[in-house]
């Protein structure tokens, strides 16, 4: 069964880049343009991976991560956080709700592809 990823970013270009990388790895992708939409998708769909931006309207990326982590057993999925803000600044306020992986924006597509390949191989090892 193909993996299902949730890609959440209010920037359509970044969201499309991540989506394209995942689809090239035969991953099914559901896109969300803000954190509120991402959480609604997460509640309905059994996603295997979340890639989310930090700064978004309505609900930010850390709140998305926090809600996912608090959702019980399903909250243990890999999460990649993308942001132009440094990881240490973001996690200073909520280190316990941190992502599994972090990448600076703007990211180079090759760097994102390498990170996502690593995450996908980790998921494959757990199955």
Residue 88 is predicted with a pLDDT of: 79
Is the predicted pLDDT of residue 90 greater than 80, yes or no? no
Residue 116 is predicted with a pLDDT of: 97
Phi–psi pair at 18, nearest 5 degrees:
-65, -45
Residue 2 is predicted with a pLDDT of: 86
Which of 55-59, 68-72, 90-94 bottoms out in mean pLDDT, i.e. has the lowest? 90-94
The more confidently predicted of residues 1 and 72 is 72
Distance separating alpha carbons of residues 126 and 51, to the nearest angstrom? 19
User: Where along the chain do its domains lie?
Assistant: 4-126
CATH code for the part of the protein at 4-126: 3.40.50.2300
Distance separating alpha carbons of residues 67 and 97, to the nearest angstrom? 9
**DSSP bridge partners of 50:** 6, 79
């Amino acid at each position: 069964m193909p993996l299902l990823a949730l890609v959440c970013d209010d920037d359509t270009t970044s969201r499309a880049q991540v989506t394209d990388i995942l689809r090239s790895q035969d991953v099914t992708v559901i896109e969300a343009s803000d954190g509120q939409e991402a959480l609604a998708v997460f509640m309905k769909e059994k996603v295997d991976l979340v890639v989310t931006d930090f700064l978004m309207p309505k609900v930010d990326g850390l709140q998305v991560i926090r809600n996912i982590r608090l959702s019980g057993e399903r909250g243990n999925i890999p999460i990649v956080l993308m942001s132009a803000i440094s990881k240490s600044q973001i996690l200073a306020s909520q280190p316990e709700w941190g992502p599994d992986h972090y990448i600076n924006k703007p990211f180079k597509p090759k760097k994102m592809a390498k990170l996502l390949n690593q995450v996908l191989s980790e998921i494959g090892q757990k199955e």
